[in-house]
Amino acid sequence: MLVSLNEIKKLVQIPSGVSTDELVKLIGSRLVEVEGTIDLSKKYKGIKIVSVVSCEAIPETHLHLCQIDAGTGSNVQVVCGAPNVREGMLAVWLQPGCIVPQTYGGENFELGVRKMRGFESNGMLAGLDEIDLGDDHSGIVEIDPKFAKAGDDFAEKFELNDIILDIENKSLTHRPDTFGLIGFAREVAGILGVKFEEPVVKFGNLDVTTTLSADQLGGSTSDVEKVAIEVSDSELCPRYSAGVFEVSSAKLGSALEGNDYLTLGDVFLAKAGMKKISKIVDATNITMLLTGQPLHAFDYDKFVKVGGVKEPKIVVRAAKKGEKLKLLDGKEIELTESDIVICSNETPVALAGAMGGESTEIDENTKKVILESATFSLYNERKMQMAHGIFSEAITRFTKGQPVAGTIPALARCAAMLLEKPEDIADFEDKNSLSNRENVVILTTVEINELLGTEYTVPEITETLENVGFVVKADGEKLEVTAPAWRTDIHIKEDVIEEVGRLRGYDNIPLNLPLRPFIGADKNPMFELKRELRSILADRLNANEVLTYSFVSKDLQEKVGEDVAESYEIVNSISPELQVFRQSITPSLIDKMYENIRAGHKDFALFEFNQVTNKKLGLTDEKVPEIENHLAMISTEDFYFAKAMLMQMGKRLHVEFKLEENNVAEFPYFEKVRSAKVTLGGETIGVVGEIKGRVLRNFKVKKAAGFELNLDEIVKAPRNITADLKLSKFPFVERDLTLKVSSEMEYAKLEEAIIRNLNETENFVYKVTPVSIYQGEDNGTKNISFHISFSSTEKTLEAGEISGIMKEIEKSTTEIGAETV
């Protein structure tokens, strides 16, 4: 939203000590985020209003050679190509040195003196688009001689020595009143600690105030047939007010009459980012920008004709399925049941609050106009905005929920711009389902101060609230606060407390800290486990932590053999790449391998912690999907690398992972015979192993091994911290042992046969380290070499004892069929 500071200043007396910078800062800290400011005085610097003294066509061109008077006493020569340039007119002159406003902040095109067709041209006479006040490029801007004279400063005359605030209106979602300049200015008064004087506009003998009621507006019902308003559901349309006037009463030659001259109204619209259209439409738009209440104008005769009735019957209802409506922009839309439509009798003629229809559009033959000022359900407006992709200034306001109290003042204001007196309103009707009920909140200053942490007094609070239109009745510490009619957002104590805190400035609240007992915070076991594992994997095992998206493509799941039907599917995904919530992490990691390999990385291990789910896991007691916390690792290595990493991790965690034959259905992408099920305390927690060659081919990766584990089991597992660690101060005996066994012999069996003897010896400490597993030409056998070291915690071992142990080891390994080499 663009807000002109000049317009605000017209409505609020800014205290002299407050600079523009300070004012912008205050608005930013107490009302709404100001995303940026645009200083128009720089943009329009040096631009002059000039009269065209003479204008001669340059032969064989479309150009004219003009002498202009810029009020300096001597004429200046300008070449102009506009068809409407003529002697005697007042125009806008961009003199040499001026930046063309259209290019301001972009290429900053600076005008100079140049030759055109041999004639010197000093700067240019500008069109509306060139001065960035519209898109019209059909001719140059003309100015009313009654309004200005040659030599006037353009910016000064047209109130362009202004600062425009670019407002981030998200934080005003609950404040429809601030979407009009009057409401915005009221807030500015409030934050400056100034009482806001509600603006009053004269309309004949009527004072149009911000709280004007239907009774006050009245209107005559003389020579025009009566308008009937029927609202099918007051939830959809809490209030509908309509006035009828004749184009002749507005002293317009035609309903499309705009202005040949550039006016302050045009500039007012342009500063808010809107375009001039015609006097009538401009009046509705200017009113909306001032009051926040959007209006719409219908052609009366067309309206009656479409309805097939004599007198206009306005019906507001939900659209019916299958109904169609051709909008003002020429697009025909199919209506849905959540659309609100304005109908003439039975036929929809406008999409309420969003856009008018073509069938009742005002044109040059329009004699009478129905002016609509209504409020609609913001919920429906929001759906309509989404369904039809309409993001007009009007619907932006309707989705904030306009207060019902605003329709009449807006209607009267708009009429006052077009008509001389209320009696010129030929007919006026108002259908209001909501009484102008006042929102009253009762609270105490103690409650205010306790929530804010302040010590504001009754008079301070009262003044703050009354500055912006609240009525406060104080009885000691007790306050009865009545919200003004435009404040539809005030319902509970906290709403009032927010007003006090905000308007007086949150930044003025003294800082303190909560008092609490001196007790430590709980550790979150899962969070801490991940933190611990992250350190183990990254710092000790040299793996790299990655984060990948939780959403994956169905294609990815198919490639790795996951059952896509079990995935939770995102219905509004950004792309097919992000279509389903993932069932496991490993596929995403495999996907990241190729790119890294291509980037020249050879040996690496990636890991990630994240949540996964699938439909098979079912729902929790809260009826939300069960979620598992997983850890996945993928490496460019083989099973044994992944296994070693897993076991190291277990060792550091002091838990014992066990491997069994892989019979896990989850993680179908592991190669069955080159992977293992991982268990912990008898529970299956995941799989470790190599990824299927078939799968890897899809990713252009040759080799990959890793693991994926469910951390929810690990976090529950008891940690077996070694309690009776034995250390020896005596020398260790070192022996190498190579055993030849059948190829089928399990390594664990052999190792167990060695360790058994060492285990059985009292006061022994030992290490058995595998050195190599070798297979020569004979496929039937393999040689496994061990390095054995042992010591007694009691004494230095003697030669006899050592050879005794080695003999025992040889005996038990021979028993299982091993041959000592």
Partner 1 sequence: MEIEKLKEELKALNKEYAKIKTIPVEERKAFGVEMNKKKQAILDKIKAAEEAAEDANVEPLDITAPAGFNAPIPEFKQGSKHPLMTELDHVVDIYQAMGFNVMEPRQLDDEFHMFDSLNFSKGHPARDGYDTFRTSEGFIPIAHTSAMQNRALTTYKDRLEKGGQIAIVIPGRVFRNEDVDPTHEHTFYQCEGVYVAEKANMGELLGIFKNFFETYYGQSLKIKTQPGYFPFTEPSFELLVEKPKSLGGKGDGWLELLGCGMIHPNVLKAAGIDPEKYKGFAWGGGIDRLVMMKYMLNDVRYFESGKLDFLEEF
CA 635 to chain centre: 38
Query: Looking at this protein, which amino acid is placed at residue 517?
Result: P
Query: Two tokens at 176?
Result: 């429809």
Strand partners, 545: 607
For partner 1, give the closer residue by CB, 215 or 507. Answer: 507
Residue 5 has phi, psi (to 5 degrees) of -70, -30
Report d(CA 682, CA 786) in Å as an integer.
Answer: 30
For partner 1, give the closer residue by CB, 540 or 807. Answer: 540
For partner 1, give the closer residue by CB, 26 or 768. Answer: 26
Letter string b/e over residues 644-661, b meaning 16 or more CB atoms within 10 A of that residue's CB:
ebbeebbeebebebebee
For partner 1, give the closer residue by CB, 208 or 500. Answer: 500
For partner 1, give the closer residue by CB, 41 or 573. Answer: 573
For partner 1, give the closer residue by CB, 263 or 380. Answer: 380
Please report which residue ranges of 626-767 form alpha helices under DSSP H: 639-653, 693-698, 711-714, 747-760
Cβ(167)–Cβ(34) below 8 Å: yes
Q: Tell me the CB-side half-sphere exposure of residue 103, using CA atoms within 13 A.
A: 10
For partner 1, give the closer residue by CB, 56 or 595. Answer: 595
For partner 1, give the closer residue by CB, 223 or 522. Answer: 522
Query: Two tokens at 43?
Result: 């943009």
Report d(CA 811, CA 790) in Å as an integer.
Answer: 18
CA 215 to chain centre: 43
Pairing of strands 206-208, 657-661: unpaired
CA-nearest of 310, 364, 382, 371 to 342 is 371
Measured on CA atoms in the order 262, 39, 100, 149, is the torsion positive or negative? positive
Helix 493-504, helix 445-452: angle, nearest 10: 60
Whole-Å CA distances, 9 to 13, 156, 184, 185, 763: 6, 15, 11, 8, 93
Tell me whether residue 799 is exposed, middle or buried, using C-beta atoms within 10 angstroms of its C-beta: 0 to 12, 13 to 18, 19 or more. exposed
Type and span of the H or E element at 589: helix 586-598
Query: Two tokens at 394?
Result: 């009007």
DSSP letters spanning 309-378? SSS-EEEEEEPPTT-EEEBTTS-EEE--TT-EEEEETTEEEEETTTEEBGGG---TT--EEEEEEEE--H
Minimum CB separation from partner 1 for residue 594, in Å?
10
Minimum CB separation from partner 1 for residue 267, in Å?
29
Minimum CB separation from partner 1 for residue 509, in Å?
5
Dmax over Cα atoms in the chain, in whole Å? 131
For partner 1, give the closer residue by CB, 247 or 452. Answer: 452
Minimum CB separation from partner 1 for residue 461, in Å?
14
Strand partners, 66: 55, 78
For partner 1, give the closer residue by CB, 595 or 660. Answer: 595
For partner 1, give the closer residue by CB, 118 or 514. Answer: 514
Cβ(317)–Cβ(377) below 8 Å: no
Report d(CA 285, CA 218) in Å as an integer.
Answer: 23
Minimum CB separation from partner 1 for residue 567, in Å?
9
Minimum CB separation from partner 1 for residue 527, in Å?
5
Minimum CB separation from partner 1 for residue 689, in Å?
21
Minimum CB separation from partner 1 for residue 656, in Å?
23
Report d(CA 98, CA 96) in Å as an integer.
Answer: 6
Minimum CB separation from partner 1 for residue 595, in Å?
7
Minimum CB separation from partner 1 for residue 322, in Å?
23
Minimum CB separation from partner 1 for residue 542, in Å?
4
- Beta carbons within 8 Å of 234's beta carbon, 6+ residues apart: 433, 434
Cβ(632)–Cβ(584) below 8 Å: yes
Query: Two tokens at 784?
Result: 């496994």
In the chain the first and final C-alpha atoms are separated, in Å, by 87
For partner 1, give the closer residue by CB, 527 or 747. Answer: 527
SS3 52: strand
Minimum CB separation from partner 1 for residue 748, in Å?
29
Minimum CB separation from partner 1 for residue 506, in Å?
4
For partner 1, give the closer residue by CB, 629 or 675. Answer: 629
Minimum CB separation from partner 1 for residue 29, in Å?
5
DSSP letters spanning 463-512? HHHHHTT-EEEEETTEEEEE--TT-TT--SHHHHHHHHHHHH-GGGSPP-
For partner 1, give the closer residue by CB, 158 or 398. Answer: 398
For partner 1, give the closer residue by CB, 510 or 800. Answer: 510
For partner 1, give the closer residue by CB, 573 or 663. Answer: 573
Q: Tell me the CB-side half-sphere exposure of residue 699, using CA atoms within 13 A.
A: 30
Minimum CB separation from partner 1 for residue 547, in Å?
5
Helix 181-192, helix 20-30: angle, nearest 10: 100
Minimum CB separation from partner 1 for residue 633, in Å?
11
Minimum CB separation from partner 1 for residue 701, in Å?
13
Query: Looking at this protein, which amino acid is placed at residue 273?
Result: G
For partner 1, give the closer residue by CB, 26 or 58. Answer: 26
| Structure letter (DSSP) for residue 547 | -
